[in-house]
Amino acid sequence: MLSLLSCAGRQNPRAVSGRSLRYRAPSIACARWGGHRSLGQPLTTCMWHQNPLLSTSISMLNGFRLAHFLDGNFDLEPIEIAFIKHEIEDRTAAISGLRLELQRLESERENYSKLLAPLRRNAIPPELLGQIFKFTLSTSDTTQEKQVNVLCLVCRRWRDVALATPSLWASVDLGSIRAPVPGLNFERIKTWLARSGIVPKSLKFAGYHDSTNRCPIPTHELVELLVDGGPFGNLSLECGDGACLTDLFDQTYSARTMNTTSLSTHSLNLVFEEYLSQSFTSIWTILRRFPALRRLSLDFPWYSSWIIPEDLPLANLRSLALAVDWPLRLLLRLFRRSPNLETLVIDYKQLARDPNEVLPTDDEQVLLPNLRTLELRHMVSGSADTRILHTLRAPSLQSLEIRYGPDGDYLDEMNDVEVSDLNSNIISLTQGPHRVTDLQHLVIQALPISSSESLRPTLSALPTLSHLTFDSFEADSTLFENADYLGESKLMPSLKILKILNVPEVGEFNYKDVLNFLMERREAATEEAPDSVEEAELTIACESKYEGMKLTKDKHFVGQLAKEGVKVNITLV
């Protein structure tokens, strides 16, 4: 070792008396080692490649001196600098190569992992996979037939699972049928439905009359489908003339002695655009064909003479949706035929009520003991539509929705008398025998009022209210600005979730009043009277991004409420 080092370079005189031994990098020329270097060849290249002994000494120097240099502060010789740079470049190249290799290995690992996915390994039982398919179809806007076809094209196993899941094949939407009748392939439709086995099926179509008023419905083919392709649990039928559907069901009913379609159908949706006066009575004939109905939806145009027969088999109804322009007394007559309703939706189609209509009195009340959800849609301002609340007795009611509109349409602002009538009609639900005692959800949409304070009587009469939603609210925010927080007058003491949606950017409503309302409720809470608010959602309609930035600059409110346990979400739309 010593002889090799003595040949490689000169010993540092300071090493004799110094505490540490330091070696200088070899400075001997190539000629002393018997090598030959061209005129332009670097000395370092000559040393490393033409002199193996010197290369070995440099390697030893690398090991000895690298640790020595790291422990002290020493100057480097040029050859040492060149050597270190070479080593850095060498390791940088090695690192780059290793990174590429790592990326390649990770990519290969991911590809191999995909091959071991549960679907690839058949680890998901076919029954469970079929239920996943069914759930996926229910959350999409695409027709079920198209989605099922896509599933069957993924792979053979998915197709086998889909074919073994009857509920995937239980729905058919024939779309729009216009006269003359298009070439519907009913044999393929029957084959499709046959795969659903005994699962109750769903059929939907819409027939539109042409200028000759010819019925577009292929009655003969549909009768065969209803008789042989059943059982049908859900029928959604739309036609311009009610007489067409009456003829369809008359033939279906007489096609066999035991009408399984009528007995199996639990949900019926009928939509008529227009009909002749003499065909109106046949509508009730259709309803008599379905004694087992649980869900009924009717969308009828205006008609001057409405008579509801006494013998309608509606006692099994659990859900009723009406889009009609009927007198309120006629509606009550229909409700009396449906005493077991749990969900009731009345769509007034934004039509003004006849000013000469005789409104029902409190003596004409109807008891619906199981009603839990009541929704009034598309009302016009100042209408007596909410008067029906005065005559409904619903002790189990939990959700009430009052919707004016539709959204975006101009509505005349309600005057004080009209607002007072609205409050009185809602409050009447909580008064008298069979009153509401546990209303939890209240939705008010597009209410054309100027001051939110005018709703205080209604909210004060609903102490059990836990969910409040104001949608398309154009009134001011005085209700929240002047809210009570303490004592028996505390506004909405059971409130948990507050939603104020689609508030216009330019208007009298100040969303900061809502944040202050939430904060002051929390600060005023005590152990005896805790604050129950858990979540608040505000959506603000902004026309410009700059204005939206100004609206959300007070983020400290949101953060402070979050610390207090109130989740606040402000969204600009």
Q: How far apart are CA 417 and CA 263, in angstroms?
A: 49
Helix residue ranges per DSSP H, 255-280:
260-264
DSSP 255: S
CA 469, 441, 362: angle at the middle one, nearest 5? 110
Evaluate the omega torsion of the peptide bond into residue 406 and state whether it is cis, within 30 degrees of 0: yes
Amino acid at 16: V
Cβ-based burial of 426 (10 A; exposed 0-12, middle 13-18, buried ≥19): buried
Q: SS in 3 state form for 492-510?
A: CCCCCEEEEEEEECCCCCC
Supply the pLDDT for residue 36. 42
Q: How far apart are CA 134 and CA 124, in angstroms?
A: 15
Structural tokens at position 100: 């590429």
Evaluate the omega torsion of the peptide bond into residue 291 and state whether it is cis, within 30 degrees of 0: no
Q: How far apart are CA 516 and CA 500, in angstroms?
A: 14
Helix residue ranges per DSSP H, 9-42:
14-17
Supply the pLDDT for residue 219. 78
Per-residue pLDDT tens, the chain, 573 aa: give them.
333 333 334 344 333 333 343 444 444 333 333 344 333 444 444 444 445 544 554 554 555 566 667 777 777 788 888 888 898 999 999 999 999 999 999 999 998 888 887 767 777 888 888 888 888 887 677 778 888 999 899 888 899 999 999 989 988 888 777 765 556 788 888 889 999 888 888 888 888 776 666 777 777 888 888 887 778 889 988 887 777 787 888 787 765 544 555 667 889 998 887 655 555 676 787 888 888 889 999 888 776 566 777 778 888 999 999 998 888 888 898 899 899 999 999 999 888 887 778 888 878 899 999 999 999 999 988 888 999 999 999 999 999 999 998 755 668 889 999 999 999 999 999 999 999 999 999 999 999 999 999 999 999 999 999 999 999 888 899 998 876 655 566 888 899 999 999 888 777 888 888 888 888 888 887 777 788 899 999 988 876 655 555 555 566 778 888 888 889 888 887
Domain ranges of the chain: 2-94, 450-573
> CB-based contacts of 17: which residues, under 8 Å, 6+ apart?
none
Supply the pLDDT for residue 429. 96
Supply the pLDDT for residue 94. 95
Supply the pLDDT for residue 183. 65
228 φ/ψ sector (left φ>0, alpha ψ -120 to 50, else beta): alpha
Evaluate the omega torsion of the peptide bond into residue 231 and state whether it is cis, within 30 degrees of 0: yes
Q: How far apart are CA 331 and CA 567, in angstroms?
A: 42
pTM, to two decimals: 0.74
Secondary structure (3-state) at 411: coil
Supply the pLDDT for residue 500. 93
Which residues share a beta bridge with 319?
295, 343
Pairing relationship of beta strands 343-347 and 366-367 according to DSSP bridges: unpaired
Helix residue ranges per DSSP H, 328-375:
328-336
Residue/partner pairs of 335-341 with CB below 8 Å, 24 or more apart: 335/366, 335/368, 335/392, 336/366, 337/308, 337/310, 337/312, 338/314, 338/368, 339/315, 339/367, 339/368, 339/369, 340/315, 340/316, 340/370, 341/317, 341/368, 341/370, 341/371
* CATH 3.30.870 describes domain 450-573: yes
Residue/partner pairs of 463-466 with CB below 8 Å, 24 or more apart: 463/492, 463/493, 463/494, 464/437, 464/438, 464/439, 464/440, 464/494, 465/439, 465/440, 465/441, 465/492, 465/494, 465/495, 466/440, 466/441, 466/494, 466/495, 466/496, 466/497, 466/532
Supply the pLDDT for residue 407. 58
